[in-house]
Chains A and B, each alone.
Chain A
């Protein structure tokens, strides 16, 4: 049963009614008078968490609030020793559940982190904004007690294989176009509740961490010689909507949930502090092979335009059977808004679009509805600069630092990409091996079963 109803909340006792949350909400889900406590309309809310990132209505030491601190921590699902300021807008987390699981010796615990996590987790330990700390992150997760430290970037490479193939198939066979990406669960929920008639435009691919989770409990179970019933998958995400996504009915195979619990970057920092792991001094370690091996293409998923760039690096080469002239596709990089580009595939020009900031998708959807959109492939990210600006990322204290934070996080990802051995998803040797030994072909029967999903209309019929 999805517990999405209580995922993002506004604490009445702390809310001053300033409505800065309403200003950033892309779906106008926050209702209330100026100066009075606000309420979230959970049917409209897509759980992007931007309100959580902007809220400054904190529990001060000199205001008398009826609810004691310990109860407030409990209600928010926070570990009891969390010593951070608490704000009115908050997301309910799964940190306690994960802490419990970590203490369970019988369970085979697998963890994966989204690309955006590795350029932000250090910030909650005092490291400069946007510091790339992938090695430290892997070491810390291992120290925390996870049995395997795999990675969502591997899942991202897998997503490119499936989604790239799906796009080329739709283009070749006259399938439904434009095709939209499906990795942003807040965007998917928005589409389901606002444009259910256009749902067949969205790629049928699951998001990277769901794909990875499905593989962990099948192929992963085989290679680790573990009973899939004993595997517990944890995802660390920059996103407050991922827990909603993991609880979707469709995200399971053979009775096992693809991902068992999703926590945010901030919650991971809290778990590490709770376990007295000093992130600053921990030595770097590698991710576990084979499902923790990733390419630069998988890494850039965290920035707006990254999914598009990764898809094009592979799509170009699969279609033209030639090497892409420039691997850095700067024309799809950028900031909030809606931008388009054209990619010359030889005998045909692929028209692509990138939306960042959910408010900007409406114009595109209206154009598609009116049959006036001639793009083939569109990436949609709810959060302003892509996942690095997600609702679950370390909350920047001063608004004047936000731009620097987002820019540095993006730079961190692109730098990581530039320094990796493999930069195109289809060249990832472990991905190739996965297909050879287990999946067969992209869009094949096994892929269809494990790695693809469907959507439902959430529109209220009035």
Chain B
């Protein structure tokens, strides 16, 4: 049985300066009906899918690891979390905000944030803002490079493909062996 390793995004804590550009980029990219490019087109309920953490001497964003056999997927009672092409995706419109996934996630990658359904145009009424679960979806639906990786001013975020990474390391190790062999 070939194990499948899912891709995920990870931040380098030594490069991160804690500017929060990743959160803003993530929330902006995931707006469903709104393609405005300025802050004036966003509302103040910014819902990123990766979360800025401030520890002593350490700032960085934390996000989903897209676990194989994801606990969140298994725990969700309404089947709002699905697996698509090796990524774990929350179908936000199916989420009832029960928070079962946030309890079982070992990393704390899922957060409960406000969710506005549909879009409210001028003259519309804002329905009571409900909460739903949000977590990184590798920008799979929106397409393209993950927004956080693209926008980070210090290139601290990177998309890790475990199989490619492993291959690279194996190649490097082989090259080292070659050198050692040559010197014998």
Residue positions of A touching B, CB distance < 8 A: 16-20, 34-35, 56-62, 69, 83-86, 123-126, 129, 266, 269-270, 276, 278, 394-401, 405
Contact = CB atoms under 8 A, between A and B. Distances in A.
Interface of B: 17-21, 23-25, 28, 34-48, 51-52, 54, 57, 59, 111, 113-114, 122-123, 147, 150-151, 153
B43 A84 contact: yes
Contacts of B114: 61
A398 B144 CA distance: 15
Nearest to B56: A35
Contacts of B51: 62
B42 A85 contact: yes
Q: Which 10 A/B pairs are nearest by Cβ-Cβ distance? A: A124-B40, A394-B38, A18-B19, A395-B39, A18-B17, A16-B18, A126-B36, A56-B21, A397-B28, A83-B43
A20 B17 CA distance: 9
A58 B41 contact: no
A394 B38 CA distance: 6
B82 to A, nearest CB: 24
Contact of B34 (A58, A126, A396): A126
Contacts of A57: 19-20
B28 A20 contact: no
Interface centre among B18, B34, B52, B114 (most CB of A within 10 A): B18
A197 B43 CA distance: 48
A85 B44 contact: yes
A314 B25 CA distance: 45
A20 B19 contact: yes
A58 B28 contact: no
B155 to A, nearest CB: 12
Given A61-B47, A126-B35, A276 B122 contact: yes
A269 B40 CA distance: 8
A397 B45 contact: no
Contacts of B59: 16, 35
A396 B38 contact: yes
A124 B42 CA distance: 9
Nearest to A393: B38
A86 B153 CA distance: 20
Contacts of B123: 276
Contacts of B47: 61
30 contacts: A16-B20, A16-B59, A18-B20, A35-B18, A57-B19, A57-B20, A60-B20, A60-B46, A60-B48, A60-B52, A61-B114, A69-B44, A84-B39, A84-B42, A84-B44, A85-B42, A85-B44, A123-B36, A123-B38, A124-B36, A124-B40, A126-B35, A269-B40, A394-B38, A394-B39, A395-B39, A395-B40, A396-B37, A396-B39, A398-B147
A352 B24 CA distance: 42
A388 B57 CA distance: 38
B48 to A, nearest CB: 8
A89 to B, nearest CB: 11
Contacts of B153: 20, 399
Given A16-B59, A62-B111, A397-B28, A56 B20 contact: yes
A400 B147 CA distance: 10
A61 B153 CA distance: 23
A335 B59 CA distance: 35
Contacts of B151: 398-400
Contacts of A16: 18-20, 52, 54, 59
Contacts of A400: 150-151
Given A20-B17, A399-B153, A125 B54 contact: no
Given A35-B18, A399-B153, A125 B41 contact: yes
Contacts of B41: 123-126
A428 B114 CA distance: 54
Given A56-B21, A56-B24, A401 B37 contact: yes
B23 A60 contact: yes
Contacts of A270: 40
B18 A84 contact: no
B21 to A, nearest CB: 5
Contacts of B48: 60
A59 to B, nearest CB: 7
A34 B101 CA distance: 35
B44 A399 contact: no
A123 B40 contact: yes
B39 A61 contact: no
Given A16-B20, A18-B17, A58-B23, A397 B46 contact: no
A16 B40 CA distance: 22
B38 A58 contact: no
Contacts of A123: 36-38, 40-41
Contacts of A405: 37
Interface centre among A125, A126, A401 (most CB of B within 10 A): A126
A395 B40 CA distance: 7
Contacts of A398: 25, 28, 37, 147, 150-151
Nearest to A20: B19
Contacts of B150: 398, 400
Given A124-B36, A125-B41, A399-B151, 7 more contacts: A16-B54, A20-B17, A84-B42, A269-B40, A394-B40, A398-B150, A399-B21
